[in-house]
Amino acid sequence: MAKITLVDDDENIVTSVSLALESHGHAVKAYYDGAAGLAALENEPPDLAILDVKMPRMDGMEVLRRLRRSSDLPVIILTSKDDEIDEILGFNLGADDYIHKPFSQRLLIERVKAVLRRSGIEGEENGVNGAAAAADASARAIKRGKLTLDPARHDCLWEGRPVKLTVTEFLLLQALAQRPGFVKSRDNLMDAAYDDQVYVDDRTIDSHIKRMRKKFREVDPEFDAIETLYGVGYRYRET
């Protein structure tokens, strides 16, 4: 169904999570430290990565930071810490979801399904015709001033220059750009980017928007197309 790379130094976690994922048809490769995991993710990119935070040689946050230099593959972060700063940092670095240890296998499977669905992997595994899905997505390609979004190819261009977005960032931008000038509340954006089974709070949406703006400003320092309406939400301003 999907190729998943799991990086965690806890052998019990690796065993139990691998068995749970494999029982749902996924192919799992496991690594026990961050450096080995990063090398594998760069050399053989999977459909999804699951990273623990606290690991030897290189922690999960550093793996994610380095991975995001060249890849937008979906990432779920695992952590045993209760400090919300770690969660904020994870989202700021480009994580797609976050799970606190200890967690139930059912919760993990639902989160994996949700992330794969958002990235388009699960639609294919559930029997959706790939060609038809691609044609439908292509028909929904969006051109808004300097912005071009092509869901079929997961391409985002600003003035013809590529902007690498994660799956979650792409979905948030797509929701905003579909109706320029109209305000999207954080709840609206949560619905656009996350499954019903996945709960995220306002801070998560804000972190994704902040990171997205930073990426666009690396391409265009004057980028200001995503506007914040404090206490209300966000809107896309066509330029």
Shared domain check, 119 and 80: yes
Ranges of the chain whose pLDDT falls below 70: 81-88, 122-140, 195-202
Q: What is the pTM of this model?
A: 0.62
Shared domain check, 92 and 149: no
97-109 residue pLDDT tens: 888 888 888 888 8
16-43 residue pLDDT tens: 899 999 989 999 999 999 999 999 999 9
CB atoms within 10 A of CB 15: 11
Question: Helical H runs in the chain?
Answer: 11-23, 34-43, 60-67, 84-93, 105-119, 121-125, 130-139, 167-177, 186-193, 202-219
pLDDT value for 6: 96
Number of domains in the chain: 2
Shared domain check, 150 and 46: no
Instruction: Identify the domain boundary among 97, 124, 151.
Output: 124
Instruction: Identify the domain boundary among 124, 153, 185.
Output: 124
What's the CATH code of the domain at 52?
3.40.50.2300
Give how far Cα 93 sits from Cα of 64, 80, 132, 151, 160, Å: 7, 18, 34, 22, 25
Say if residues 47 and 3 touch (Cβ distance below 8 Å): yes
CA angle, 151 as apex, 149 and 157 as ends, to 5°? 25
Shared domain check, 210 and 168: yes
Shared domain check, 100 and 19: yes
Domain range for 158 is 131-236
Shared domain check, 88 and 192: no
pLDDT value for 125: 44
